[in-house]
Amino acid sequence: MQKVKYIMNPSMLSRLVMVLAIVLSLVAIFTVVLTRGVSRNGPTGPTECKTVIVVASGDTLGKILIDQGLNNSDVNAIADALKKNAGISTLRADNDKIEFTRPDETSPVSKIVLIPSPWKQVELTCSENGGWNCNTVEIERDTHAVYKSGEIKNGDSFYLAGIRAGIPAGILIDVFDLLAFEMDFERDVRAGQHFSVLYEENFSGGEKVENGHVLAVQFEALRGNVKMYRFKKSDGTTGYYDENGNGAIKSLKRTPINNAKVTSNFSSGRKHPVLGFTRAHKGVDFRAATGTPIPAAGAGRVVARGFNRGHGNYVKIRHNGTFETLYAHMSKFAKGVNVGTTVRQGQTIGYAGSTGLSTGPHLHYEIIKNGTHVNPLTVKLPAINNLGDADKKKFLEYRKSLDNGIEKLSQNPDWFIQM
């Protein structure tokens, strides 16, 4: 396999998508659609007039309603009805749409439809006594599972190969996030690797509205074929699991050595025990006898292994585009752990000691998030979600049937699974 050039990294991708999103929402903010004539919803009349507003940043319900000619008592009644009957108390900018209907151009608003998602509409109608009635309508959705597969070609990034395979950019971002703890997209992508994604497309009235969730993903990574499946547990929560039903979203361990006592916490300023003056403690110290094996806090690649005056013998691991961890004061390194070595979670990378600026044997452990040191004990990490016995049994059956479906789709790329 040949090493390929990395053209677009995930952070560049997300920045690009963000710029696109901003541009699109700017367009949306200034878009006020006026539709005349026959309407799809509610009573229709030849001169009925509709106005659709996309909620913009800084908009309030009151401001929007007053702009449409409603008065303060309408605003209060509508806000009450939305809160009481639809559980809506705030509007979401660049997402929520509000449709105003007037019997004709010069009449006051008689009907308001709030559209918080493509699958839900909240209809407010003006009653004869001047109050507002509120009714929530669920829009039926038709979900297809579609399958796309591709291969990394020489000179490719995963992003380019994914787009060439016809995978939508939004789905590719979800796949990046899913696989981020399994592989390093900047370094572990090679020509000849195959990948596939099964994902949802949601339709309403025969028209595609949006892409849904990633249902299954497969990638021939350097450390083996990675497979993940989305599965709903009996308690209603969903998660991603590997072929065997183990929680697939790998995380970092806050305390790499199990049950190790914290002897010094993370702080932005403390008196250093050896140097004597106050300086930040960028990690957490755990009590550990000399020679205690130090496990990698998560899967990743060793990016540094060396000695410096402060850290003594230390190892740094890059886990994904976001997280790195560092382990200091080691008495020695584990055999075979060098710069560039790929390690799995729990693999011994070295042994505790007291090298560098240290008063006694311990592990000094750092988590670096996007280049900044964070407190390992409090930083928000992706959750690991394992299955109980009953759910695991169900998962394995579900996985088998999904694999059968995927097998058929891989031979018939135009087919889809009706969900």
Minimum CB separation from Zn ion for residue 332, in Å? Answer: 19
- How far apart, in whole angstroms, are the C-alpha atoms of residue 334 and residue 330? 10
* SS3 call for 401: helix
**Contact assessment for residue 344 and residue 353, using Cβ atoms and an 8 Å cutoff:** no
Chosen residue from 201, 285, 324, 366 binding Zn ion by CB under 5 A = 285
Which token pair is 366?
């750092």
319 vs 364, beta carbon nearer Zn ion: 364
Closer Cβ to Zn ion, 227 or 364, answer by number: 364
| 372-374 vs 293-295, strand pairing mode | unpaired
Q: Which window, 66-74, 227-235, 306-314, 357-365, contacts Zn ion (CB under 5 A)?
A: 357-365
CB of residue 95 vs Zn ion: minimum separation in angstroms?
45
Q: Minimum Å distance from CB 264 to Zn ion?
A: 6
Q: Closest CB to Zn ion among 219 and 365?
A: 365
SS3 of residue 314 by DSSP: strand
Contact between residue 242 and residue 328 where contact means Cβ atoms under 8 Å apart? no
Q: Which stretch binds Zn ion (CB under 5 A): 83-91, 269-277, 278-286, 374-382?
A: 278-286
- Provide the residue type at 38 as one letter: V
Site string for Zn ion, 311-350 (x = CB under 5 A): ----------------------------------------
366 touches Zn ion (CB under 5 A): no
Q: 74 or 285: whose CB is closer to Zn ion?
A: 285
364 forms part of the interface with Zn ion (CB under 5 A): yes
DSSP 3-25: B------HHHHHHHHHHHHHHHH
The Cα–Cα gap between 368 and 325 comes to 6
Minimal distance, residue 281 CB to Zn ion, in Å: 6
Applying CB under 5 A, the span of 209-217, 306-314, 363-371, 383-391 interacting with Zn ion comes to 363-371
Residue with Cβ nearer Zn ion (102 or 362)? 362
- Which part of the chain contacts Zn ion (CB under 5 A), choosing from 101-109, 123-131, 339-347, 362-370? 362-370
Amino acid at 106: T
User: By beta-carbon distance, which residue lies closest to Zn ion?
Assistant: 364
Q: Between residues 364 and 399, which has the closer beta carbon with respect to Zn ion?
A: 364
Distance from the Cα of residue 398 to its chain's centroid: 24
Coil vs helix vs strand at 256: coil
Interacting residues of 255 by C-beta distance below 8 A, sequence separation 6+: 262, 284, 286, 365, 376, 377
Binding site for Zn ion (CB under 5 A): 285, 364
